[in-house]
């Protein structure tokens, strides 16, 4: 897929996710402008991003080193389609763009979060795709993602039916042989985040939640230091989606 600008020099407009209402992301994407598919905006997350600077929230990272390292190991090709699910105002999109990735999308429930990230990127914001939507209900184009990244979103799903729905979304959106990288609070991490209860996971538990077909390639633990100096343990799992295989551990 090739980046392009329209003939009059303005930013190219290629739509993002394939839903009943929009065109396939892989064919024509909506660069820079924010497509809002929200029907039930989350007041909680909107208010967080409206009232706090990105550097003030507990999950802020100056550089998402571990996420980037694992993404680059799974998808070295710079045209890999990478989706940061619940990316918020994370700097991961900045890092991926700076490293030369050309197909990066950020999806989040809170438009305010995406506006924060766009403002930070400034003239480079058009290099990513932006979608305000709920990961549980948005219609992803089938097999349209090479790497699904989620840091600190899945752990908010405390109801089994929501976790099942999330996994179904991954199975639809990630191409066979593609990867899903999910980071949650570890089993000894905090019990709440942003005032909300979370589920905590060891790598075995997190991998097990995704079930058959997800081959665990790598797992890691991260000691995250919040802007206020607290320590939070995270579990990262990088799995390859192999629909024809069992979820055996290979590394
Ligand atoms: C703790 S923050 C993590 C943000 C980012 N991943 C990071 O590591 O900096 C959780 C993010 O998930 C988003 N979020 C929560 N539930 C969501 C959902 N159902 N669909 C999409 N985004 C969601 C929130 O708006 C928020 O930006």
Predicted local distance difference test score (pLDDT) of residue 29: 45
**Ligand 1, atom 6: nearest CA belongs to which residue?**
87
33 — pLDDT class (breaks 50, 70, 90): low
Residue 173 and residue 188 in contact, taking contact as beta carbons nearer than 8 Å: no
Predicted local distance difference test score (pLDDT) of residue 149: 98
Question: Residue 88: CB within 6 Å of ligand 1?
Answer: yes
| Statement: residue 23 has pLDDT above 80 | no
| Statement: residue 19 has pLDDT above 70 | no
**Percent share of the chain, pLDDT over 90:** 79
Predicted local distance difference test score (pLDDT) of residue 43: 86
Residue 218 and residue 73 in contact, taking contact as beta carbons nearer than 8 Å: yes
Residue range 175-181: average pLDDT? 98
What is the per-residue pLDDT across 159-171, written as a single tens digit (0 to 9) for each?
Answer: 999 999 999 999 9
Question: Residue 183: CB within 6 Å of ligand 1?
Answer: no
Burial of 216 (0-12, 13-18, 19+ CB in 10 A): buried
Going from the Cα of 18 to the center of ligand 1, the distance in angstroms, rounded, reads 21
- What is the number of other CB atoms lying within 10 angstroms of the CB of residue 47? 12
249 — pLDDT class (breaks 50, 70, 90): very low
What is the per-residue pLDDT across 124-150, written as a single tens digit (0 to 9) for each?
Answer: 999 999 999 999 999 999 999 999 999
User: In a 3-state reduction of DSSP, which class is residue 79?
Assistant: coil
Predicted local distance difference test score (pLDDT) of residue 104: 98
Pocket test for ligand 1, best of 67, 108, 232 (most atoms within 8 A of CB): 108
Residue range 106-113: average pLDDT? 96
What is the per-residue pLDDT across 34-55, written as a single tens digit (0 to 9) for each?
Answer: 555 444 447 899 999 999 999 9
E strand or H helix at 116, and its extent? Answer: helix 111-121
Terminal Cα-to-Cα distance of the chain (whole angstroms): 32
Going from the Cα of 88 to the center of ligand 1, the distance in angstroms, rounded, reads 5
Residue range 203-216: average pLDDT? 96
Going from the Cα of 12 to the center of ligand 1, the distance in angstroms, rounded, reads 27
| Statement: residue 203 has pLDDT above 50 | yes
Half-sphere exposure of 131 (CA within 13 A, CB side): 29
Question: Residue 193: CB within 6 Å of ligand 1?
Answer: yes
What does pTM read for this prediction? 0.87
Burial 77-104 (b: 16+ CB within 10 A, else e): eeebbbbbbbbbbbbbbbbbbeeebbbb
Predicted local distance difference test score (pLDDT) of residue 228: 96
Residue 131 and residue 23 in contact, taking contact as beta carbons nearer than 8 Å: no
Can you identify the CATH homologous superfamily of domain 35-241?
A: Vaccinia Virus protein VP39 (3.40.50.150)
User: In a 3-state reduction of DSSP, which class is residue 40?
Assistant: coil
Residue range 58-76: average pLDDT? 98
Going from the Cα of 10 to the center of ligand 1, the distance in angstroms, rounded, reads 31
- Nearest Cα to 151, choosing from 235, 228, 26? 235
Residue 153 and residue 86 in contact, taking contact as beta carbons nearer than 8 Å: yes
Predicted local distance difference test score (pLDDT) of residue 244: 79
Predicted local distance difference test score (pLDDT) of residue 25: 43
| Statement: residue 185 has pLDDT above 70 | yes
Question: Residue 151: CB within 6 Å of ligand 1?
Answer: yes
| Statement: residue 120 has pLDDT above 50 | yes
DSSP 56: G
Predicted local distance difference test score (pLDDT) of residue 34: 58
Mean pLDDT over all residues of the chain? 86
105 — pLDDT class (breaks 50, 70, 90): very high
- What is the number of other CB atoms lying within 10 angstroms of the CB of residue 6? 9
Going from the Cα of 84 to the center of ligand 1, the distance in angstroms, rounded, reads 10
Residue 174 and residue 241 in contact, taking contact as beta carbons nearer than 8 Å: yes
**Ligand 1, atom 10: nearest CA belongs to which residue?**
153
DSSP 140: P
Going from the Cα of 98 to the center of ligand 1, the distance in angstroms, rounded, reads 22
Residue showing tokens 């914001």:
125
Residue 180 and residue 213 in contact, taking contact as beta carbons nearer than 8 Å: no
Pocket test for ligand 1, best of 62, 88, 116, 161 (most atoms within 8 A of CB): 88
């Amino acid at each position: 897929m090739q980046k392009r600008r329209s003939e009059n020099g303005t930013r190219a407009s290629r739509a993002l996710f394939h839903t009943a209402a929009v065109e396939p992301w892989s064919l024509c994407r909506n660069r820079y402008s924010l497509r809002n598919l929200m029907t039930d905006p989350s007041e909680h997350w909107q208010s967080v991003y409206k009232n706090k600077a990105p550097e003030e929230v507990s999950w802020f990272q100056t550089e998402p080193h571990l996420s980037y390292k694992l993404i680059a190991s799974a998808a070295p090709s710079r045209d890999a389609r990478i989706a940061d699910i619940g990316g918020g105002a994370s700097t991961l999109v900045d890092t991926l763009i700076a490293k030369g990735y050309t197909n990066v999308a950020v999806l989040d429930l809170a438009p305010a979060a995406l506006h924060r990230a766009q403002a930070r990127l400034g003239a480079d914001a058009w290099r990513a795709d932006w979608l305000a939507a709920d990961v549980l209900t948005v219609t992803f184009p089938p097999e349209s993602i090479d790497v699904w990244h989620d840091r600190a979103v899945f752990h908010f799903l405390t109801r089994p039916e929501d976790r099942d729905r999330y996994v179904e979304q991954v199975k639809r959106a990630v191409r066979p042989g593609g990867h899903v990288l999910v980071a949650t609070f570890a089993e000894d991490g905090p019990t709440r985040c942003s005032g909300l209860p979370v589920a905590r996971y060891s790598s075995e538990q997190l991998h097990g939640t995704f079930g058959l077909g997800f081959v665990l390639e790598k797992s890691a633990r991260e000691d995250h230091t919040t802007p206020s100096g607290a320590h939070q343990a995270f579990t990262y799992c990088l799995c390859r989606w192999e629909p024809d295989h069992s979820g055996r551990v290979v590394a």
